[in-house]
């Protein structure tokens, strides 16, 4: 992660906070208040280790971390999933000299944050749990929030995906795990993606990293960890040892329920004098981005197999990048609007609302989307309602069984519609009008045809 922090610093993107702050509420409140700015805290009361957050708060930062140029983020991620690169040849043995501190686990030495009032305690939120697949030399990487119970124990929220399956196949036996905090960006991104059981996210990260990912075996097992990780914890996941986990403020900014969850007991802890603890604040734009990206990839794949062309997919920020989706499409026949809606729902079970618009409507311009609904949508023909469908437990309105209702709004025009009746008028700018607007501190937007007159001239940003 150090290389990425240096990159942020060299571009004057990284905000450094030298004033003393507390792990209890201070850091979380600052990160959430400035959620689009990467921040490093250099003076944390009671700790020698620094902390950083908002490191991948938006797509531009994520692309910078991965070294991706232009609007190719989703296609690059999909390519890495489809064509991963074997990382096993990159694994070196454990070396004590790689760490300044190689000691018995003591979580009280790490600046683990308490984020919100009424949460159960301090939570690890950016730790990647690494475990071997059963009867395999490959590792599974996954994010799990972890409530600190003691100096060497956490309760990990484990949803029914790969790590849960690994536990089940362990038939009640304890499972050796490592937790990597502050890995290289490619590993952080890969761990957030949804892959097939048995496929190692290290291979995806290796592809994203130009096949230069460096791995090392941990001290106590053959589990590989990223060599450039800031902090490494090693221990055992015990499904038979459970503790209350929660309350915790999750994606929607609401408190999740208390559950009995498995305990991880750590044996060893490795870090350096200049290590940086990484945190992700729940309900932040960074949290939404990493929850939404896997859904966007699945939606993109589903639409590519069913719709002639997709102009854009917007998992809206106000829905935490998870529950509402706007898709802009080119239609080949009159059923494509509803087909797109149904395919989105089929691809991403958390979705509750999908709006389909024509390709002349920018799905990221919410005023343009609302205009399309006002001028092109008719409820009697364009409304799709699905009842009793699988939803997400993160939606407090879906209940404990996560059963929800879904709504689609087809605001696309019929193929044979006279589009001249629905086209927005263009403003014509002369050199003089452009000069006047610039003198008034405005600049001309690039997409005149899809914007209203009030929207065409945007004030020049000043800081």
Q: Which residues are catalytic?
A: 250
H helices of 35-131, in order, are: 59-66, 73-82
Other beta carbons less than 10 A from residue 432's beta carbon? 8
Instruction: Please count the CA atoms within 13 angstroms of the CA of 387 that sit on its side-chain side.
Output: 0
Token pair of 386, please? 């699905």
Token pair of 442, please? 């405005």
How many Å apart are CA 41 and CA 27, to the nearest integer? 8
Burial 40-76 (b: 16+ CB within 10 A, else e): bbeebeebebbbbbbbbbbeebbbbbbebeeeebeeb
Residues near 22 by Cβ (< 8 Å), separated by ≥ 6? 44, 45
Quick check: bond before 240 cis, omega within 30? no
- The number of residues making up the chain comes to 463
Torsion of CA 153, 157, 163, 166, to 10 degrees: 70
């Amino acid at each position: 992660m150090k290389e990425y922090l240096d990159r942020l610093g060299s571009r004057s993107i990284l905000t450094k906070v030298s004033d003393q702050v507390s792990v209890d509420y201070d850091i979380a409140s600052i990160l959430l208040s400035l959620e689009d700015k990467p921040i490093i805290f250099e003076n944390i009361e009671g700790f020698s280790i620094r902390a950083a957050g908002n490191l991948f708060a938006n797509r531009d930062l994520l692309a910078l971390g991965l070294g991706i140029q232009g609007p190719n983020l989703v296609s690059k991620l999909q390519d890495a999933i489809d064509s991963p690169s074997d990382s096993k040849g990159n694994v070196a043995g454990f070396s004590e000299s790689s760490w300044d501190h190689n000691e018995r686990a003591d979580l009280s030495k790490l600046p683990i944050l308490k984020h919100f009032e009424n949460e159960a305690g301090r939570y690890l939120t950016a730790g990647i749990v690494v475990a071997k697949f059963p009867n395999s030399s490959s590792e599974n990487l996954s994010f799990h929030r972890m409530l600190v119970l003691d100096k060497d124990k956490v309760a990990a929220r484990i949803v029914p995906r790969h790590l849960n399956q690994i536990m089940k196949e362990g038939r009640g036996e304890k499972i050796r795990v490592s937790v990597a905090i502050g890995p290289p960006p490619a590993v952080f991104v890969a761990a957030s993606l949804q892959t097939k059981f048995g496929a190692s996210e290290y291979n995806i990260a290796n592809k994203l990293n130009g096949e230069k990912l460096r791995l090392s075996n941990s001290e106590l097992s053959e589990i590989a960890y990223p060599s450039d990780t800031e902090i490494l914890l090693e221990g055992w996941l015990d499904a038979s040892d459970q503790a209350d986990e929660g309350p915790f403020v999750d994606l929607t900014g609401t408190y999740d329920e208390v559950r009995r969850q498995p305990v991880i007991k750590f044996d060893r802890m490795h870090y350096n004098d200049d290590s940086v603890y990484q945190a992700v604040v729940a309900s932040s734009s960074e949290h939404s981005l990493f929850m939404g990206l896997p859904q966007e990839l699945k939606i993109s794949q589903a639409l590519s197999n069913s719709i002639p062309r997709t102009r854009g997919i917007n998992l809206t920020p106000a829905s935490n990048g998870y529950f509402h989706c706007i898709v802009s499409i080119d239609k080949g026949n009159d059923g494509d609007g509803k087909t797109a809606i149904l395919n989105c729902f089929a691809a991403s079970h958390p979705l509750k609302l999908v709006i389909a618009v024509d390709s002349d409507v920018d799905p990221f311009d919410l005023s343009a989307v609302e205009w399309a609904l006002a001028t092109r949508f008719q409820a009697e023909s364009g409304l799709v309602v699905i009842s009793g469908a699988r939803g997400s437990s993160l939606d407090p309105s879906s209940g404990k069984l996560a059963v929800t209702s879904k709504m689609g709004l087809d605001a696309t025009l019929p193929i044979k519609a006279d589009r001249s009746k629905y086209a927005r008028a263009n403003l014509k700018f002369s050199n003089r009008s452009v000069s006047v607007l610039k003198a008034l501190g405005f600049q001309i937007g690039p997409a005149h045809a899809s914007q209203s007159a009030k929207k065409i001239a945007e004030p020049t940003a000043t800081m």
